[in-house]
Amino acid sequence: MYVYGKNVVTEMIKDNKKINKAYIYKKYSDDCNIDYLIKKNVKINYVEKYELDKIVTGNHQGIILDIEDYKYVDIDELLIKENPLLVILDHLEDPHNLGAIIRTCEAAGVDGVIIPKDRSVEVNGTVMKTSVGTVNNVKISRVTNIVNTIKYLKEKGFWITGTDMNGTRHNKLDFKGKTAIVIGNEGSGMSRLVTESCDFIASIPMFGETNSLNASVATAIVVYEAVLQREQV
């Protein structure tokens, strides 16, 4: 997997991630990163900017690393704590949204993120860049079926809260117990079966002309409501 950008590279180095190869612009100026790569005996290819542009489409800032693919965890690894807070993403498609959501979850101390294996964005270089490398600090599980996963979580004592325009105001719901918050697809929201599987539906009030929020923004609002409530326990 290719990751890119100075901040992401710094995170990879700080987390001591295995780096297979580095592609660096010939005029790249961050000597600290280069010194680390040399010290770790990472093969460095010094190239022209157009060659970097062929490898990734994002803003690479003159450096790209070839690293091992992200390692997902088994769902049971998300349930180790006594009172977990999880986020379930119902077939998100935009890697920028996934990256932003992961960054929020890391900042808020969410215990894990669940994504489906099919028809969904996965952790890639764009996600790494958008999350500023915080992906490495968040446990993510890929599951075969979201509805079956919700059923399994309920058996483990979780309350499932979906998000939709037609629901109960998010700050009127109770997030203090074992909680999984479901965020729907950017265009169509949660699927019908996922919606029917939820115990509660949280709605964020809209006071302007806009009638919906970006998935990552909605996640941040509901997640931090949950975090604030749980701090008071």
pLDDT tens, residue by residue, 124-154 = 888 988 888 788 889 999 999 999 999 999 9
Which of 67, 101, 122 terminates a domain? The answer is 67
175, amino acid identity: F
In terms of domains, do 32 and 12 share one? yes
In terms of domains, do 188 and 108 share one? yes
Over residues 166-213, the pLDDT tens digits come to 899 999 999 999 999 999 998 889 999 999 999 999 999 988 887 778
User: Mean of the pLDDT values across residues 46-73?
Assistant: 90
pLDDT exceeds cutoff 80 at 18? yes
Q: Which residues contact 140 (CB under 8 A, 6 or more apart)?
A: 70, 72, 73, 102, 112, 113, 114, 115, 123
In terms of domains, do 126 and 59 share one? no
In terms of domains, do 48 and 101 share one? no
Angle formed at CA 12 by CA 117 and CA 185, multiple of 5 degrees: 30
Which of 67, 87, 111 terminates a domain? The answer is 67
The pLDDT value recorded for residue 233 is 65
In terms of domains, do 101 and 40 share one? no
Domain with 212 in it: what CATH number?
Answer: 3.40.1280.10
Phi and psi angles of residue 129, each rounded to the nearest 5 degrees, phi first? -65, -45
In terms of domains, do 99 and 212 share one? yes
In terms of domains, do 99 and 209 share one? yes
Over residues 79-124, the pLDDT tens digits come to 999 999 999 999 999 999 999 999 999 999 999 999 999 888 999 8
User: Mean of the pLDDT values across residues 63-69?
Assistant: 89
Over residues 34-56, the pLDDT tens digits come to 888 888 888 999 999 999 999 98
Total tally of structural domains belonging to the chain? 2
- Residues 75/143, Cβ–Cβ less than 8 Å: yes
pLDDT exceeds cutoff 70 at 229? yes
Half-sphere exposure of 154 (CA within 13 A, CB side): 12
Query: How confident is the prediction for the chain on average, in pLDDT?
Result: 91
In terms of domains, do 8 and 118 share one? no
In terms of domains, do 131 and 181 share one? yes
Q: Taking the complete model, does pTM exceed 0.95, yes or no?
A: no
For residue 41, what are the domain limits?
2-67
Over residues 207-218, the pLDDT tens digits come to 888 777 889 999
H or E element in which residue 128 lies: helix 125-130
Beta-strand ranges (E) seen in the chain are 2-4, 19-25, 43-47, 63-67, 85-89, 112-116, 140-143, 159-169, 179-183, 200-203
